[in-house]
Structure 1
Amino acid sequence: MMREIQDLKAINPFVGVHQYGQSVFGRPLVALCCGRGSRLVHVNASCHANEWITSALLMRFMTELSGAYTAGQRLGGEDIGVLLDTVTLWAAPMVNPDGVELVQGRFPHSHPHYRTLLAWNGGVEDFSGWKANIRGVDLNDQFPAFWEEECKRRNVVSPAPRDYPGAHPLCEPEAGALAELTDRLGFHAVVSLHTQGKEIYWNYRDFEPPHAENLADRLGAASGYAPIKLSGSDAGYKDWFIHRYRRPGFTVEAGYGENPLPVSAFDTIYAELRPLLLESLRL
């Protein structure tokens, strides 16, 4: 992914590449900036390690979007030059790089942390179901939006492959860096890409703006995904964003099946997701 970002930047010099933090193991957390409009939209991917296909999906979109802008072409029927004169997209394509490496089987057994991870995974060497970061904290349970309620609901009190909210909100560098980036830039709307279910979650404890459901309907019409009014879930990134800013925030569950979704499903999922992401830039 980092090589692809370098290539994208070389071809499209107007794309900004910004390191906004580091993972637990010091990997760069990178955001791409595309556009020059005053309205700021943010999209992130791979908050959950076993949903890493979302990184590839978002990178494909960034490549096509920037390429269309450079060439003066349309994308999905949209005049990208006009669109990116009114909006700027900030994309964080991999929130959880350490976890993604673990799920993909690239974490070395010789690493001093491997035995700890193996114990947290119940002694199973197959880490394909791992959602958390490399310290066993679920990054989408890390944000200060009724975090204590999420702890009670999850009832997971120590590091685990999934559902452990951590010792306190934003204790993990990946979550803290994403929150800081959001606070610093003040996005007008955010989309967090997950898998799977072909659903769009748009509300949070009635803190969402009045037009949020209408915006979710537009995203649903573009993608074929079902807008869902969700309850009984707290401490996610879009929950925190809505609660803190009272602005539109969406969790998009792309594709359908069992995580991690197979690479063979990529083209089908992207065909659904691209019009949704283009529509998110019009919100």
Structure 2
Amino acid sequence: MGRIIQPKQLYTYDILCEDCNRLMERYPSLISTETIGYSVGERKIIAIKLGNGEDKIFISGAHHAREWLTTALLMDIIETYARVAVNTSNVEANRIKSILDECTFLFVPMVNPDGVTLVQKGEHDFEQKDLLIKWNNGSDDFSAWKANIRGVDLNRQYPADWETIQFDPGVQSCENFKGFSFLSEPESLAIFHFVQSQSIKIAAAYHSSGEEIFWKYKSENELEKWSKKIAMELADLTGYQLIYPGENPSGGGLTDWFISYYKRPSFTIEIAPYVGPNPVPLTYYDSIYIKNKNVPLLLAENRNP
């Protein structure tokens, strides 16, 4: 049978929903899905569970609308692991099978389905067209849009130093607006509640531009040592640069909150060379996949200090 996931395309919310169903049908012993919430526009926020183990690893993609290639990457990795575990017998397969026996990966490949749809298809599917254009600096070209469709940056919504987030425009915008209160948006609130409902060992959030790994936030002592060890292994695996925050890092991100609240490692991974305020071109995909295909396995193998 051929592969289900075709990542080198305009990977839309509708394709995501269809592919989730097809993956569950083909790999029922390894893959299940759960709708953990709904977006402002009533699109499903889907969590995909891969594996049967007790230890949980959480990985998200597409908090930011223009970063939808992270969704395609995560879906490709999910199918690869399931396909190898079911159909193959070699050293790599044994590694994956062992991890899927001990761990369950919890993927939310598209946190911001409304925003992704806006970037890919324009404002025509949305009632508040005039507001969206206003928040987009008067333009009907939404390719640079990061926010959800209420003009809130979902990765500035989490309760970690939210009050002091830097470079906030203070009003709805295509990017960087943290909202009028933390967890005001249904998408970030769904992630918050889902993470709280699980006992997660390690978390990662995929973003798209810069080939960087954010790992430290305000971690200290043993947590900092553990996190740095994993971050250095991630850097060796991907070739991405480790980012050391300054004295007062801006908070509000999913990984900032996870590190602060759970005192466990969490990583923000930027998958592509810097491409400015644009979706990452599909021509980068093969290189991105090669660098990232083993990242979840590495995280799982480092889930305990």
Same fold (TM over 0.5): yes
Is the deviation greater in 203-212 or in 43-52? 203-212
The structural deviation recorded for 1:78 is 5.6
* Partner Cα separation in structure 1 for residue 175 and residue 89 of structure 2: 42
The alpha-carbon distance between structure 1 residues 68 and 212, as it changes in their structure 2 partners (threshold 3 A), is same
Give the AA of the match of 1:25.
Answer: G
Q: 1:73 to 1:19 in 2, by over 3 A?
A: farther
Partner of 1:133: 148
Deviation at 1:266, TM superposition (A): 1.0
Q: 1:78 to 1:281 in 2, by over 3 A?
A: farther
Residue type of the partner of 1:216? Answer: A
Residue matched to 1:92: 108
- TM superposition score normalised by structure 2: 0.88
The runs of 5 or more residues in structure 1 that have no matched partner are none
Question: Following the alignment from structure 2 to structure 1, what is the Cα–Cα distance between the partners of residues 214 and 144?
Answer: 22
Corresponding residue of 1:61: 77
Selected match of 2:262 from 240, 245, 252 = 245
Instruction: Name 1:261's counterpart in structure 2.
Output: 280
Q: 1:68: how far off? A: 1.2
Q: Does 1:80 align with 2:96?
A: yes
CA RMSD across the alignment: 1.5
Deviation at 1:264, TM superposition (A): 1.6
Deviations 1:180-220 (A, max 9, x none): 00000021100100011111111112354431100111111
Aligned-residue offset at 1:72: 4.0
Moved more, 255-264 or 12-21: 255-264
SS at match of 2:293: helix
Match of 1:28 in 2: 44
CA distance in 2, matches of 1:50, 1:5: 21
Report the residue type matching 2:64 in the other structure.
H
* Runs of 4+ with deviation above 3 angstroms: 72-78, 207-210
Aligned residue in 1 for 2:5:
none
Equivalent residues of 1:138, 1:162 under 8 A apart: yes
Q: Measure, in 1, the Cα distance between the counterparts of 2:90 and 2:172.
A: 47
SS in 1 for 2:235: helix
Cα distance in 1, alignment partners of residues 153 and 127 from structure 2:
21
2:228 to 213, 223, 239: 213
Relative to structure 1, the CA distance from residue 46 to residue 78 in structure 2 (aligned partners, 3 Å threshold; closer, same or farther) is farther
DSSP-derived class of the 1:243 partner = helix
1:224 is aligned to 239
Tell me the CA shift for residue 76 of structure 1: 5.1
Q: Distance in 2 between matches of 1:277 and 1:224?
A: 16
Report what 2:174 is aligned to. 161
Structure 1 position 257, deviation (Å): 3.0
Aligned equivalents of 2:82 and 2:224: distance in 1? Answer: 30
Residues 1:75 and 1:228: Cα distance change in structure 2 (over 3 Å): farther
The equivalent residue for 2:201 is 188
Contact 2:205-2:254 at 8 Å conserved across structures: yes
Unpaired runs of 5+ in structure 2? 1-15
Q: Per the alignment, do residues 74 and 182 of structure 1 end up closer, same or farther by CA in structure 2, a change over 3 Å counting?
A: farther
Corresponding residue number in structure 1 for 2:33: 17
Q: Is the contact made by 1:200 and 1:227 (CA closer than 8 Å) also made in structure 2?
A: yes
Conserved 8 A contact 1:220-1:276:
no
- Partner of 1:176 in structure 2? 189
Normalising to structure 1: TM-score of the pair? 0.95
Amino acid at match of 1:49: A
Q: For residue 18 of structure 2, what is the aligned residue in structure 1?
A: 3
